Amino acid sequence: MASAPSGGNQRILLKISGEGFAAEGGTTLDIERVRRLAKQLKVLTREGVEVAAVIGGGNILRGAQSEDLGIARATADYMGMLATVINGLALSDALEANGVPSRVMSAIDVHKVCEPFIRRRALRHLEKGRVVILVGGLGSPYFTTDSAAAQRGVELGCDLLLKATMVDGVYDKDPQKHADATLFSSLTFDQVLDQRLQVMDQTAFTLCRENALPIVVFNMAKEKGVIQACHGEKVGTLIST
Ligand code: UDP
C-alpha cells in the first residue's frame, strides 16, 4: 500500500459519495453521519495527513435521473453538481465545529459560499493542514464525481485515492445478488480490466491507471473505515499497478 512519501506528509484524495451524507436509504442529509466523518478526518489531519475530499451528490440528485424527472440531462447534471455543494458545506461546517480548518473549493462558480478551485491555492491549503473540500465535480455535465476524484487526485499529487462506499470493497460479482460473492483484498489495474470488475467509472479508472494512482475501495459505514483505509490496514480492496 502507498505510504507517506519520504520527507513529506501523506496526501490523500478521499472520494465520498452522496450516500455517505444521507441516512440509510434516505435522500436528505444525515448530519450525525457527517459529524462522524468529520471526527475521522480530524484524527488524520492531527497525524499530519493532508486531506483533499471530493464530494458526491447522489443523495440529492444524479444526472442519470433526468429522464424520470423530465429534466434535460445537462440541466440535471448541473443540479447534481450543485447538490455536491450542499454536502460539501455540511462537511466543512462539521469540521470547523471540531476545530479542523477547511476550505470548500468549487469547480462551478458559487462564489458567495465557496472559493473557486485553483490548483495552486488548493495545494497551499493542503500544506497548511486545511481539509480541502472539492465540490462541483469537474464543473462540466456528463461527468461524475468519480472522474473529478481521479482528476484532482492526480492534479494535486495525492499518494492514494480512497473511494468511500457502502460496500466492503470490490467483489467478483454483485454481493447484493449473489451470496457466494468473493471480496478481493488486492487487485492490479490490469486484473480489474481483464475481469471487467466495477471499481469506478471508466474515465476515472483510466486516469488512475495511467498515472499509477492507487485506489482503495472501502466501506465508510464502518466506524473507523476512513482512518483504517488511510493507515493501510487490511480493509476493502487495494487496486495498484
Ligand atoms: N456531475 C456532473 N459533472 C461532474 C460531476 C458531477 O455533471 O463533473 C453531476 C452528475 O449528474 C452526477 C451528479 O453531479 O450524477 C452527482 O455526482 P455523482 O453522481 O458522482 O455523486 P455520487 O454518486 O458520488 O453521490
pLDDT in tens, 10-50: 999 999 999 999 987 776 899 999 999 999 999 999 999 99
Q: How confident is the model at residue 128 (pLDDT cuts 50, 70, 90)?
A: very high
Strands (E), the chain: 11-16, 50-55, 102-106, 115-116, 131-135, 160-165, 186-188, 215-219, 237-240
- pLDDT, residue 113, reads 96
CA atoms within 13 A on the CB side of 43: 14
Q: What is the pTM of this model?
A: 0.95
Pick the CATH number of 11-240 from 3.40.50.150, 3.40.1160.10, 3.90.1300.10, 3.10.105.10: 3.40.1160.10
How much distance in Å is there from the Cα of 71 to the middle of ligand 1?
Answer: 15
Block residue for cell numbers 461546517: 93
Block residue for cell numbers 487490511: 234
How much distance in Å is there from the Cα of 81 to the middle of ligand 1?
Answer: 6
How much distance in Å is there from the Cα of 46 to the middle of ligand 1?
Answer: 30
Surface-to-core class of residue 206, CB atoms within 10 Å of its CB (0-12 exposed, 13-18 middle, 19+ buried): middle
Mean pLDDT of 118-141: 98
Index of the ligand 1 atom closest to the CA of residue 142: 7
Give Cβ neighbours of residue 174 (< 8 Å, ≥ 6 apart): 181
How much distance in Å is there from the Cα of 27 to the middle of ligand 1?
Answer: 15
How much distance in Å is there from the Cα of 78 to the middle of ligand 1?
Answer: 9
CA 197, CA 49: separation in Å to the nearest integer? 30
pLDDT in tens, 153-191: 999 999 999 999 988 999 999 888 999 999 999 999 999
Mean pLDDT of 128-139: 98
Give the closest residue to 99 by CA, choosing from 32, 40, 42. 42
pLDDT in tens, 56-115: 999 999 999 999 999 999 999 999 999 999 999 999 999 999 999 999 999 999 999 999
Give the closest residue to 14 by CA, choosing from 229, 239, 236, 178. 229
Residues in contact with ligand 1 (CB, 6 Å cut-off): 17-18, 56-58, 62-64, 76-77, 80-81, 83-84, 137-138, 140-141, 143-146, 148
CA atoms within 13 A on the CB side of 96: 11
Index of the ligand 1 atom closest to the CA of residue 66: 11
